[in-house]
Structure 1
Amino acid sequence: MHALDTAGLDCLAALAEAGSFERAAQLLSITQSAVSQRLRALETHVGHLLVVRARPLRLTEPGKVLLRYARQMQALRADAARELGATLARDERLPIAVNADSLATWVLPALDPLVQAGQRQGYGLELIVDDQDFTHDWLRQGEVLGCVSTVATALRGCTVQPLGRMRYIAVASPAFIARWLPQGLTPANFSQRPFIVFNRKDDMQAQWVAQAFGLREPRLKERYVPSSEAGAHAAAMGWGIAVLPELLARPMILAGTLVQLRPDVTIDVALHWHQWRLGGDEGEASRGGPPGLMEQIGQAVIAGARQALAPAAEPPPSEGRPDAGRRR
């Protein structure tokens, strides 16, 4: 296949980002007709339909393959502009996917020095949030250049580094415990007490109950609160029992607004950092050049995680999703 047209790749990336031809045209500061023409030219060049023109539009499998390539080209272009001191006509997105619990605890402090340095030009860091068992799908589809995931096996063309283990504990407010759990949480009463759940992908609460009482697939009374921080506050307000990252719950426990239930029962979830290789298998830094923008982001994520999380288990898991179950 001959060299791909960068304008067409930019159109494909803009369509994936914007979800429509109109918004893609606005992002690129061109007309909708020009977007359509560039996309058709790219499709003709590669011999595949790349976008299903529906509402909302979606990428075909060949489109996802080229989207991965387009994202990598954008990141490399941003690196080149930074090193040359040039300003790009449009900010290049460097999207990474993280789970909500990591975002609520250690990811922002990890990235803060990089963001505050203020030395990057011509790109926009974007944080995309999904369940930590599903962030890897964003990477596979080319939507992001890096992700925090429970998956331990690297995709072809990607690198993977263990980050550590995030520990989860069960908590409730003192008032909730006094009213609804005077004898503690037991096999006889857990199904009658509400559990605060992030969303329907989140089964950490069921995993905790299963471990605490030796049950398989326990049924819970669920109250959905789709935010890590808001879920913690809902627990403090007495809405129910929450299974939270210890990093998030510990300050509230020390303040007396939450109490840990069954301290002997905890769940550890191993996290990993994945990112696409850019500019060669070993990266610019190993060849004597400055680290690229994605390398800097990856280094910051790894350093921040290893400060905040428990060390990765030895040996690390070899493949797939952990038994600990899904979590936001």
Structure 2
Amino acid sequence: MLDYPALAAVACVAREGSFERAAERLGITPSAVSQRVRALEERLGSILIVRGQPCVATDLGHRLCAHVDQVQLLEAELRPALALPMDAPVTLRIAVNSDSIATWFPQAAADFARTTGYLLDFMIEDEEVTANRLRSGEVLAAVSADPGAVQGCKTVELGSLEYQACCSPDFAARYFPDGVNEESLSLAPCLRFERRDGLQARWARESHGLALNGPMHWVPSTYGFLNFALAGMAWGMHPAMISRPLVEQGLLVELTPDTPLRVKLYWTVTRLHASALKTLTDAVRRGAAEKLLQ
């Protein structure tokens, strides 16, 4: 049998990033946390936590943390039937892309939290890679752009999130006086979320048949994208839910009108038999049906 107090210590250190904060959460001393983690590592013959600032879990550590999350969820499901009190709110860890967090997902999450009393721990990733967090066992569910099957999980299509290629009027006058062409795209600074973000290049290719090779600013924030575009720093792809009102107000302009880009989103969730996951899935599907393009 696995040592669950030790597993809980590993999971808490991985989540909190330090032995001291994990000790505060668990109500024990940092020395006790360290002893539990070290004893489990010695028993398994493998390092589970890489000590540092912050402390991070190894691959095996991540897998054990995922196991702890699943056990806690299943135990929470059993407590009402056993007439046992809930020790503490259960936390579900999910991966969601930044643009969904900034637009349609909060209402779905709020509905779930209000209904169940559960807590959510979000991992924010580009929609192209959130499913990888599920495959690695780090999360129980994910919003992603990946329709591929994940072992032990089910995937449902949610709808499409629409994007607009926008910039400030001043930026458009400086860099796109003659519209979008190969020369203007090579000179105009562009915003990019992170290295795997291909939305801007996809829009240039699909809307204009052009390659994107201009200068880039790296901004890992949906509202950072928006604020830098409003300030006239660069152009980028913005969720239409937040950019369209600004276009209507004249604060932003589309590089070329009526050339939106649509990204299909999927919800992939582990097949663990837990009513909380079904409730979360139902809330996500309702939120997507109301806000995303179907």
Aligned AA for 2:285? I
User: Who is 1:212 aligned against?
Assistant: 207
Aligned AA for 1:163? L
Matching residue within 87, 107, 115 for 1:109: 107
Change (3 A) 1:54 1:111: closer
Aligned AA for 1:126? D
Whole-angstrom CA distance in 2 between matches of 1:70 and 1:124: 15
Matching residue within 184, 190, 195 for 1:195: 190
Whole-angstrom CA distance in 1 between matches of 2:105 and 2:124: 12
Whole-angstrom CA distance in 2 between matches of 1:180 and 1:61: 46
User: Who is 2:48 aligned against?
Assistant: 51
Aligned AA for 2:9? C
Shift of 1:108: 0.7
SS across alignment from 1:129: strand
Whole-angstrom CA distance in 2 between matches of 1:109 and 1:99: 15
User: Who is 1:314 aligned against?
Assistant: none
User: Who is 2:179 aligned against?
Assistant: 184
- Higher helix fraction (1 or 2): 2
- Greater displacement, 221-230 / 76-85: 76-85
- Greater displacement, 176-185 / 7-16: 176-185
SS across alignment from 1:36: helix
The count of residues paired between Structure 1 and Structure 2 equals 293
Give the structure-2-normalised TM-score: 0.88
Matching residue within 11, 15, 22 for 1:24: 22
Change (3 A) 1:50 1:124: farther
Verify the 8 A CA contact 1:205 1:243 in the aligned structure 2. yes
Shift of 1:258: 1.8
- Greater displacement, 298-307 / 75-84: 75-84
Matching residue within 209, 221, 225 for 1:227: 221
User: Deviation string for 1:24-59 (max 9, x for gaps)?
Assistant: 2222111233323433444455x3414144314433
User: Who is 1:171 aligned against?
Assistant: 166
Whole-angstrom CA distance in 1 between matches of 2:7 and 2:270: 17
- Correspondence 1:37-116 to 2 at 5 A: 37-43=35-41, 47-55=44-52, 56-81=54-79, 87-116=85-114
Verify the 8 A CA contact 2:131 2:144 in the aligned structure 1. yes
Which residues of structure 2 form unaligned runs of 5+? Answer: none
User: Who is 1:318 aligned against?
Assistant: none
Whole-angstrom CA distance in 1 between matches of 2:149 and 2:82: 32
- Greater displacement, 252-261 / 32-41: 32-41
User: Deviation string for 1:169-198 (max 9, x for gaps)?
Assistant: 211223332343222222221211122222
Whole-angstrom CA distance in 2 between matches of 1:175 and 1:53: 48
Aligned AA for 2:128? D
**Percent identity of equivalent pairs:** 36
Verify: 1:299 aligned to 2:285, yes or no: no
Give the structure-1-normalised TM-score: 0.79
SS across alignment from 2:103: helix
User: Who is 2:271 aligned against?
Assistant: 277
Aligned AA for 2:219? V
User: Deviation string for 1:72-105 (max 9, x for gaps)?
Assistant: 1122233334666755434432121111111111
